[in-house]
Amino acid sequence: MQSGPREIVTPFRPIPLDVPEGMKPNEFFNSTENLNDLVHNNGLLQNPEGLLLYRKALGHSNEFDTSIIYNTSQTILDPLGRPVRRTQVPDAVKNVWNRMNQILFAYMLEQYPDPDRHLLLAGEASLDATWPLTSPGVPSIRMLHNHFIVFDKAQLRAAPLADTNNPNLTDGGQHSLFQAYMRDVYREFFEGLDLRILRPCQAGSCRIALTGYPQGLPSWEVTGGAESLREYRFWQEYDTLLKGFLDFYRTFFGQVSTRNSPMPRDVYFPELVENKLLFNNALLKTAKMVRDRCIHDARYANSIRWQPAFKQLLYRNDAGQIIVTISQNSIGNAITELLGVVVKRVPDADAYAQAEPALIARLLEVRRRLIEADLGDGIATAQWGTG
């Protein structure tokens, strides 16, 4: 079978939300009013830390699809002032967040044990103020949230190949500045991080054969498998990768913005930045190339995401190993496309209704496990009780 990204169709029930006159949909989706609807119509569990588990009404997959959002909609009214990545979350909240992530991923592995039959992923995408709120593709809810998704590989195999020029299929190769011009310095920078549980994958060994993705990204095997996700050390290393990425991204685009710019403020690894980046000719030559183009090409300059844009996720590869990867581009947005899955959502209430009972049963079961672990209380909606 030909390897390549797949485009699947996922039906959904149209959401009866009226966007106020004069507002764009993605402006309304950032409002407290919309988050209230999310809680009352799709909420599954919430806890005192402000973490909300909910059913994805506009989902990626009707096999299993849920999210945890750090719901600061009523405490931080400025959408651009809300925490949008793990490094901005208070430690007490992150401790609960990590435990929830571990239980959810363990549930997915338990229910879908065969890597030949199902593709599993969990992770977050950057929600930074990298584009204006009204630009196409801007995240609809500007608050930190994780995705937990299972795809049926039979559906993926039967799906048509996706257009490889889809702007979101930009995780590496020709689309990525890091990959095309700074591959060696990028990887050498990551090699300087203190990682013990995460072990670098050999080139190509972590790729999903069916889709051929991820492409060109540094990836790490979780030694010890699912058991390692129970260890606090793993989540420290998961954050270390993100911190390293943020340092690299901020340093590079700082040099693009301003020639010979000083080290960014509050970097996590100043010695690595100084020794591996600010004295590296490949990085500085690439920064000059991008800066020169920005000066002369208004369209190109407008497309730059000056603040760190990333997707970071856990997924299971074809060999059953748990892999961590992080994107290195400043273009794409949708997290599923990091693994070569393009989702075309279509309104079809009848088709969704056929999948809904089994989907909700799985969501309520994982909610039960979270409640047992003292990670929150159930939310009642018109479709389910508090559990």
Q: What is the pLDDT of residues 171-196, one digit of tens each?
A: 444 356 787 788 899 999 999 999 99
Question: To which residue do tokens 């990028």 refer?
Answer: 186
Report helix angle 183-191 to 281-296, nearest 10: 130
Whether the pLDDT of residue 334 is over 80: the answer is: no
Average pLDDT (72-76) is 86
H-helix segments, 192-224: none
Higher pLDDT, 74 or 362: 362
Give rounded-to-5 percent helix, strand, coil for the chain: 40, 20, 40
Contact criterion met (CB below 8 Å) for 240 and 195 = yes
Q: Which tokens go with 270?
A: 């100043």
**DSSP letter assigned to residue 207:** -
Q: Which tokens go with 154?
A: 């039979």
Closest CA to 261 of 295, 280, 284, 294: 284
Give the integer Cα–Cα distance in Å for 122 and 314: 5
Average pLDDT (86-109) is 96
Whether the pLDDT of residue 121 is over 60: the answer is: yes
Give the integer Cα–Cα distance in Å for 250 and 148: 28
Whole-number pLDDT of residue 128: 66
Whole-number pLDDT of residue 355: 96
* Alpha-carbon torsion (293, 295, 297, 298), positive or negative: positive
User: What stretches of 81-213 adopt beta strand conformation (E)?
Assistant: 118-125, 145-152, 198-200
Whole-number pLDDT of residue 174: 38
Whether the pLDDT of residue 330 is over 80: the answer is: no
Give the integer Cα–Cα distance in Å for 295 and 275: 29
| Confidence label for 53 from pLDDT (cuts 50, 70 and 90) | very high
Average pLDDT (356-368) is 97
Give the integer Cα–Cα distance in Å for 123 and 86: 11
Whether the pLDDT of residue 170 is over 70: the answer is: no
Whole-number pLDDT of residue 77: 82
Whole-number pLDDT of residue 338: 87
**DSSP letter assigned to residue 274:** I
Give the integer Cα–Cα distance in Å for 10 and 344: 6
Average pLDDT of the chain is 89
Give CA separation, 260 vs 13, 53, 221, 285, 288, in Å. Answer: 52, 45, 36, 11, 10
Burial of 278 (0-12, 13-18, 19+ CB in 10 A): middle
Compute the radius of gyration of the chain from its Cα atoms. Answer: 21
Q: Which tokens go with 13?
A: 């029930």
Whole-number pLDDT of residue 173: 41
